[in-house]
Amino acid sequence: MSYVVLARKYRPRTFAQMVGQEHVVQALSNALTQGRLHHAYLFTGTRGIGKTTVSRILAKSLNCTGPDGKGGITAEPCGVCQACTEIDADRYLDYIEMDAASNGGKDEIKDLIERAAYKPGIGRFKVFMIDEAHQLSKDAFNALLKTLEEPPEYLKFVLATTDPDKVLPTVLSRCLQFNLRPMAPATVRDHLQRVLEAESVPSEDGALRLLARAARGSMRDGLSLTDQAIAYGGGQLTEAGVRSMLGSVDRSHARTLVQALSRHDGAAVLAAVDSLRSLGLSASATLEELALLLQQMAVEQAVPGALDAEDADTEAARSLLGVLAADELQLLYSMVLHGREELSLMNDEYGALTMVLLRFLAFPALGAATAPREVRSAPLRAPAPPAISVAKVQPSVKEVPLPATAVAVSPAMAERVSATGSVPDAAAVATAHEPSPFDGALADRWNTTFKALCEQGSVAALVRELAAQAGLVAIDDSATPHRWKLQVAREPLRNPALADKLAAALSVLLGHAVVLDIEAGSPTDSPAQRDAAERARRQAAAEATIEQDPVVRELMQQFKTARIVPGSIKPL
């Protein structure tokens, strides 16, 4: 006897067997019982959630004739009549499933509509099920619309989609819509347990929890994973086996990381990442497990006793409760979640993982905490934007009406500024702005550099504009990368993205890395100003040339009213 996969074997055949979609089941059952039938239904929800299953049960309900062949429309299809058995076996003449993902074309819909013209061959109703309906082309939708508007009595449409936003509003408005919900892990776990008992497959509770979590709300995925796990575990489900199959990271690693992070112990964080690397555990799975642990910690912190006491992981979450304040928990959770997207950007995922974790330690508000954690209840302040803090305190430190410094002030410094009201490095910042005897030389250098950049063709549009409008006020070449400080007056040009592009072009031109600090200020000798001055000079020269031209002079004398039209002289 061939093996039938669990997802298929345990596919619900009646509304009563549907798990986790009680709201949909209730509404449909009532409608069927009371004979309030709609001609088009739309089932929405993520994949593997039961849309096709509901559609089939609905088709059976509409066409069931009962064990004695005398039954009518019912919310409890018998399961033994021709309609019930053939729909279950996927060979009922009047139930047609079409997958718009592979048949998105107008022709297929045309064919469907032609078939709609004929009365059902054996059943009461023809039921057309269009899966992934949002993938129908606009033409196909429009062709369908006419039939949807005035369907024959015997025709029922079921549309299913994972993306209702992409279904035309005109179609949506003609359908009775049901939203199938993702299933909670506990619902999936309970169902898996029943299935495994029926299959006489021994299973550990931890294994079921891992499978239920990995199902991500889809019972079909949960059952498929269970199938794989049974094969993987040679007929039994152990937690260790399932963990290894899923590549999930043991809770103890996440726990070690939380402890290291809470102590702000960078060395322990690095050691933990090294250990993950040597065990070959995935960085992404580590962040996933970490996020889950933090989420459970936050829940238990906010509502003590809310976690499932039977879950083996609950104890870990509870034991860590004191180590992070609520705001720290939230911050770390957010970093961990966003960090997952960063992993793929690096060749070395463990390097990326290290960066994500160290980021938490980089927050001075947390790292500099001297007060005992118990009394720290103030909500976490995100570091104030450096530019504002510095600008605010600068005048009191040094009476130089300075523009804000956009770069070169670390969040740590900004934090110190807002904490102490003084700027330890302000003198250094201010010195950079003092007029330098080399200004003329710097301006020459920037102008030459600008021309070379233009010739190289590596700056265009706004980046070129930034370079043209900027004045070079300082170069620090004492260390690599060299730092060039530019001043520019127009705020939109002081955009970090433009600065990055300009720095990149500059680095290529000079053959070594350059970091740009762009600050607000009115340069007196920018390439644009030099260009404008040069144009003015050439204009004046051109006008002088014309006015001194003998022919022009003669004309002017002959015709007393003659004059040179302003602006009509253009230098060549």
**Given the rule CB under 5 A, which residues bind Zn ion?**
64, 77-78, 81, 84
Q: Least distance in Å: CB of 71 to Zn ion?
A: 7
CA diameter of the chain:
121
Main-chain dihedrals φ then ψ at residue 488, nearest 5 degrees: -145, 140
| Strands ordered across the beta sheet of 482-488 | 471-476, 482-488, 514-520
CB nearer to Zn ion: pick between 77 and 523: 77
- Closest CB 342 distance from Zn ion, rounded Å: 54
Tell the smallest beta-carbon distance from residue 126 to Zn ion (Å). Answer: 17
The minimum distance between CB 77 and Zn ion, in angstroms, equals: 5
Q: How far is the CB of 18 from Zn ion (least distance, A)?
A: 17
Helix or strand or coil: residue 439? helix
Lookup result for tokens 């463990």: 350
Residue number with CB closer to Zn ion (77 or 206): 77
Question: Which residues, at least 6 apart from 89, have a Cβ–Cβ distance to it below 8 Å?
Answer: none
What minimum distance in Å lies between the beta carbon of 1 and Zn ion? Answer: 26
The residue among 272, 277, 230, 232 whose CA lies nearest residue 255 is: 272
Structure tokens at 289: 């497990």
Q: Which two tokens stand for residue 157?
A: 């449409």
* Smallest distance, Zn ion to C-beta of residue 72, A: 11
Nearer to Zn ion, 61 or 248 (CB): 61
**Which is closer to Zn ion, CB of 83 or CB of 406?**
83
Nearer to Zn ion, 110 or 124 (CB): 124
User: Which residue, 87 or 417, has its beta carbon nearer to Zn ion?
Assistant: 87
Residue with Cβ nearer Zn ion (48 or 77): 77
What is the distance between the alpha carbons of residues 395 and 12, in angstroms, rounded to a whole number? 74
Smallest separation (angstroms) from Zn ion to the CB of 64: 3
Least Å from the CB of residue 80 to Zn ion: 6
Please say whether the dihedral angle defined by the alpha carbons of residues 508, 512, 513 and 518, taken in this order, is positive or negative: negative
Show the tokens assigned to 256.
Answer: 């070690």
| Phi/psi of residue 486, nearest 5 degrees | -115, 150
**Is the Cβ of residue 67 or residue 247 nearer to Zn ion in the bound state?**
67
The minimum distance between CB 95 and Zn ion, in angstroms, equals: 13
Closest CA to 237 of 227, 247, 224, 251: 227
Token pair 């060395």 is found at: 267
Residue 64 or 160 having the CB closest to Zn ion? 64
Residue 300 to residues 225, 297, 320, 366, 479, Cα–Cα distance (Å): 29, 5, 10, 22, 50
Phi, psi of 59 (to 5 degrees): -60, -40
Give just the sign of the alpha carbon dihedral 376, 377, 379, 384: negative
* H helix or E strand, kind and range, residue 210: helix 205-214
Q: Cα 234 vs. chain centroid, distance in angstroms?
A: 38
Q: Nearer Cβ to Zn ion, position 78 or 294?
A: 78
**Encoding tokens for residue 183?**
């299933």
Structure tokens at 395: 């005048």
